[in-house]
Amino acid sequence: MILFLGLILLSSMVAQSFGRFTYPVLLRAINDDLLGSLARAGSLGTVSLGAYLAGTGLVSWLSTWREPATIIKAGLAMSTVGLAVLATASGFKTLAIGLFIAGLGSAGVWVPAPGLAASLVGPARGGLALGVVGSGIGLGIFVIGPLTNAVRAVTGVGAWRPVYAIEAGVALVVCIAVALLVRSPRTISDAESPARVPTTVIRQVPGWTYLVGAFGLFGAGYSLFFYFFVTQLQDAGWSPSSTNNVLSLLGLASVFGGVAFGRLSDRFGRPRLMVAGFLIMACAPLLALTASFVPVVLAAIGFGLSVSGTPTAIGAVVADHLHGRAFGAAFGSLTFVFGATQLAGPQIAGIIADRAESFVAVFVAASVLSMAGAFCSWRLGSAARRLAPLNDAAPASGDAGANSAITLGPDKGVQR
């Protein structure tokens, strides 16, 4: 079980952190080297998010009939290829291609991974398992800052391709390990297991409309702030090494955020932790606008905790009611909404920042959206309590799809 969770943690680190979140860290250097416009830089962020959105739609469909481990392997392979393309990029088109491939790969890993982890440990510790998997994203963000500083200490202040090259090498190692050690055995015969589950299975989760709204608002608020957090600090006079250190602090906080929120949600309920995460997330952009050391540090820590903890609690809500392929289909549909709402964020933020020469309006909007997410989370808790008796009387039919247990190598696996 530990090996399984470790491999999925590293997979999420490669696919999400390296594949998607390295770009905001290197954005200023890439812009100065190749682009020359924050609007163009923002459009590349939109390419990455668009690929992630397309990938979640594709993975949602694939999850209805393909085993989760197979999808994860394909996603890791695409992430590795995308990082390699970015490491050799010489212009806008090549950058767009690399970010698009990496974005598709990130969806291939992230959508099925939480369900696999939750199904392994059982519902009592489902939130903790999802938190461990999600902490891989924080681990990657924590690594990106020091890695970038170390590379630039050797190759120069504006270097960015070597960062992607190193990440591509790490991704290749993780990809090989997962390909060799992870397989999905059939624990239920084809006659007993449904070939497909409907993508509308998310409707079996009590209060699902509020859950969808909360995740959509999370995507919108997160994208408006995170993609330009580092750039905003650098525009305010912070050095690249200082902003990278702040980002590492954010990543370190998110390592603990997923685990802490997951475990606390096991004990106190998912909606309560979602509300807490959104409220913390709403404060971060406002603190960052001060560009002062203490508020910025608090913003980084708070946003790091919430950016991993809130999705962990959201995923745990789904895992409480759906398992296996049903989880993959439902979480994929949910993540599609998340991707759609964050799609235009970097582009809009870049245009506004270019014209206003400030991120004030963008960051205030991010805070307002997070407050709306807190409201949806509160309403989710009310709906879940109101519908609980009905739900207990009629178990979700998606449980029949819980045939996605993982075996780690021959005779070393854990089967359900």
**pLDDT digit string, tens, across residues 258-284:** 888 888 888 888 999 999 999 999 999
Give per-residue pLDDT as tens, 354-374. 777 778 888 998 999 999 999
Better pLDDT: 4 or 155? 155
In tens, the pLDDT along 87-119 reads 999 889 999 999 999 999 999 998 888 777 766
**pLDDT (0 to 100) of residue 371:** 96
Alpha-carbon span 90 to 390, nearest angstrom: 58
Please give the Cα distance from 170 to 156 (Å, whole number): 22
Residue 132: domain span: 2-408
Mean of the per-residue pLDDT values of the chain? 82
- Whether the per-residue pLDDT at 191 is higher than 60: the answer is no
Question: Residue 265 sits in a domain of what CATH number?
Answer: 1.20.1250.20
**In this structure, what token pair is assigned to residue 172?**
């290749």
**Lookup: tokens for 389:** 């008796």
Residue type, 49: L
What span, in angstroms and rounded, lies between the C-alpha atoms of 102 and 79? 4
Residue 192: inside a domain = yes
Q: Is residue 151 in a domain?
A: yes
Beta partners for residue 408, in sequence order: 182
**Structural domains of the chain, count:** 1
Going from the C-alpha of 167 to that of each of 144, 145, 156, 258, the distances in angstroms are: 9, 12, 18, 23
Residue 87 forms part of a structural domain: yes
Is 371 domain-assigned? yes
| Beta-carbon count within 10 A of 185 CB | 13
The pLDDT score that the predictor gives to residue 257 is 87
Tens-digit pLDDT profile for residues 209-250: 999 999 999 988 988 898 788 888 988 889 888 888 898 899
With respect to residue 341, please indicate whether it lies within any of the assigned structural domains: yes
pLDDT tens-digit map of 19-75: 888 998 888 889 888 887 777 887 888 888 889 888 888 887 887 777 788 899 999
Judge whether 116 lies within some domain: yes
What H or E segment, with its residue span, contains residue 183? Answer: strand 182-183
Give the three-class secondary structure for 194: coil
Task: Note whether residue 155 is domain-resident.
Answer: yes
CB 336 within 8 A of CB 53: yes
